[in-house]
Amino acid sequence: MPAIGGVFLRSYENTLVRQTEAELAAQGAALAATATALWPGAPPPTTAPRPDPEDPSYYRPERPSIDLSAARILPERPSPASSATPPQADAALAAARLDHIFADTTRSTLAAIVLTDAQGRVVRGLGAGGDLSALPEVREALAGRPETVLRRNGQYRQRSIWELFSRASAVRLHHARPVEVGGRTVGVLLLSRSPRGLFKGLHEDRGKLLLGAGVILVVLFGLAGLVSRGVTRPIEQLSAATRAMATGRGEPLETPRTAAIEIQALYDDFRAMSEAIDKRSRYLRDFAAALSHEFKTPLAGVRGAIELLQDHYPTMSQAERERFLANIAADSARLSALVGRLLELARADMATPEAGVAAVPAAAAKTVAAALSTPAFAVASDLPADLPPVAAPLAMIETVLTVLVENSRQAGAAKVVISGHDRGAAVVLVVADDGPGVPQADAARLFEPFFTTRRAEGGTGLGLSIARSLARAHGGDAAYVADPGGARFTLSLPTA
């Protein structure tokens, strides 16, 4: 804001100087026209040719040329040099005729007016009889070209400390304009005046400036209110909700209707994130409870067998000892299998899709069918030859298909067929068996961690969870489809 204010003051001061220059040029043009009409030997106005106002070249406005930031400030105007030759007689006579006009003009405009003859000798004004032909602005006017320059004001005295910030306070504008009669320059009018001071101009224009400042303040307060209503307060509420959620006590906020569009999107993203975190935390909580239950049973068996062996080892028969040791070994093997499956599930949950990967699902199906087929358990691959590749590694597809096929074998199926079809954006692989199927009550829990109907046979209930986690990590999914003829699982993966 201070920088903008400084630029405004500089621009405003330059405008005041240019306004003064325009006023001097206008006065000079009027006085030069008057001098031309009253100059001795000038043709009568009625006989002089009059330009046509309809002519496009009739109007010749003079644009201000002074720029405070770039204009050179000349020294104070020197006193006229002495001249051995008196001024021309016609110029002296013209000065006498124009004197009262110049005096009245000076009285109202405060502009000092000097008139010279065709040689630059002063015939009216300060330093009459002297020579000003050495001044650059006078030379330009004698050549028929109006000229305005900035000169230092020798009579300037600082009256306020604020004038230090004004560059125009100590300068004076000097405007030289030729007086032409019959196409010949017969004299020069030299007008000079101090420009209106910066702070004087501000004082004189205070009404407009105060009105503008008031409008700006109203706009700023309005914008501040809009920003507070649409940005600041919603962000503060979101920040408070975030801190509350970090302590486990907060709830996601509803999106404020008055919030900015970007803030509303932030609220939506925050709500989606909080729901995902809440879902994940519930999953971890349930997972930890199930995990502790799964570990508790074999650990309790191991600890009970060890305590019995410690307390009754001498009185036990060899068969009893071997039975308890076998129980310990079985529970240990179950724990080892459970730990291995947990590591696989953790790797599946942490898997990320690979950029640019592509695999042919038919190749994975043939590999799984060849590896798992036995005389008592047939696995067939029936995938179309034109099935497009999918955006997933071949090893991942083989792992998921192996889990699904093994699940069918453990459920008592004798035959499994791997088929598939193209859905455009995704490829769907179907693993169907001829087993007893899945009870309706268990279908909704098939992919839950640790859910198994084969716990007595050593099942961990993590195979299908691992398969679904791997599929979702690569943009796909694994699901169960009810089928009266057996169990049917689908694996959908995005097309490469």
Cα–Cα distance, 198 to 10 (Å, whole number): 9
Q: Cα separations (Å) of 347 from 54, 462, 467, 470, 475?
A: 91, 13, 11, 9, 16
| DSSP letters for 24-78 | HHHHHHHHHHHHHHHSTTPPPTTTSPPPPTTSTTS--PPPP---TTT--EEPPPP
pLDDT given for residue 435 in this prediction? 82
HEC letters along 420-457: EEECCCEEEEEEEECCCCCCHHHHCCCCCCCCCCCCCC
Least Cα distance to 29 among 77, 57, 66, 61 occurs for 61
Looking at domain 355-494, its CATH class is alpha beta
Evaluated on CA atoms 406, 411, 416, 421, the torsion sign reads: negative
Residue corresponding to tokens 């040791």: 325
pLDDT given for residue 219 in this prediction? 92
Task: Please name every residue paired with 419 in a beta bridge, in sequence order, or none if there are none.
Answer: 382, 430
Indicate the angle between helix axes 394-410 and 361-372, nearest 10 degrees: 40
Cα–Cα distance, 272 to 264 (Å, whole number): 12
Cα–Cα distance, 143 to 185 (Å, whole number): 8
What is the CATH code of the structural domain delimited by 2-204?
3.30.450.20
Which residues belong to CATH 3.30.450.20 in the chain? 2-204
In the structure encoding, which two tokens stand for residue 186, read together? 């017969």
What is the pTM for the complete model shown? Answer: 0.47
pLDDT given for residue 164 in this prediction? 61
* Residues in the chain, pLDDT under 50: none
pLDDT given for residue 350 in this prediction? 62
Residue corresponding to tokens 């034109």: 386
pLDDT given for residue 103 in this prediction? 94
Which residues belong to CATH 3.30.565.10 in the chain? 355-494
pLDDT given for residue 250 in this prediction? 66
Amino acid at 218: V
Least Cα distance to 480 among 450, 456, 448 occurs for 448
281 burial (CB, 10 Å; 0-12 / 13-18 / 19+) is exposed
pLDDT given for residue 456 in this prediction? 56
